[in-house]
Amino acid sequence: MDLLRKNFGLKLLAVALAIVGWAYFRFATNPLLASGQVDQQLSVPIVSVNLPSGYVAHFTDREALVTVATKRGEPGIKPEEIKAVLDLSNKGEGIYNVPVQLVAPEVAVQSLSPASVTLTIERLEDRAFPIVVHYMGSLSRGIVVNLVRVRPSVATVRVASSAQISGVHVDVELPSEPKAIDEMVRPIAVDASGGEITSASVSPDLVRVQMRFVPAVAK
């Protein structure tokens, strides 16, 4: 006990200095901890801006992963506060590698992935197609189509020059009994397999379809 009490003050001071030294090397040498900063990782959508009229841009990278440094104890950055944009000013048809630019509040950006995006720009063109009725289901026995009228009968499709469009149709469900149809239907652009080409813009967006299903006349 006497040995423990001997130079007790000096021993206590040595322990305190050891703790202070450990804390210094633990925190002061870590730049983030020393500055009171923490990393925050965000996923934000990539959008294109300033694309000249009459063109469309195709790219597959739709999300950017952004790491920013925020001050410890302060509210984090919200994803909607940061925008990842591709500036397509003065670009015509072709293939480009465009840097991803961040529009954000005053934050320290630690990393950004991807830093650039490879994309293709195509010219948009208008094509005219007659609107065809596409029957869905099977027509019941003893019922025939007596009238088919589509107004307007022609649609204009705005689409990239490389798009393979086979036509434009409207879907009509075949009835199980005689009836008349008079309704507004959305025309869609389709490929050779009948699948909708979602990137195509069809005008008008609705057409009037009039049809009459009547009993078949026995011969």
Residue 49: what pLDDT?
95
Mean pLDDT by 10 residues, the chain (219 residues): 54 57 51 60 93 94 89 71 93 95 83 95 96 88 88 96 94 90 96 92 96 82
Same fold flag, 38-114 and 124-215:
yes
Report the run of H or E that residue 97 belongs to, with start and end. strand 94-99
Q: Which CATH class is domain 38-114?
A: mainly beta
Residue 14: what pLDDT?
60
0.85 exceeded by the pTM?
A: no
Sheet strand arrangement including 101-103: 101-103, 83-87, 37-49, 63-71, 108-113
CB atoms within 10 A of CB 207: 20
Q: Residue holding tokens 């694309």?
A: 51
User: Cα separations (Å) of 121 from 57, 100, 107?
Assistant: 4, 16, 32
Residue 39: what pLDDT?
82
CB atoms within 10 A of CB 197: 19
The answer to whether 145 touches 168, Cβ cutoff 8 Å, is no
Instruction: Among 2.120.10.30, 2.170.120.40, 2.40.160.10, 3.40.50.10860, name the CATH number for the domain at 124-215.
Output: 2.170.120.40
Residue 4: what pLDDT?
46
| Residue extents of the structural domains in the chain | 38-114, 124-215
59: left (phi over 0), alpha (psi -120 to 50) or beta: beta
What token pair was written down for 38? 């923490």
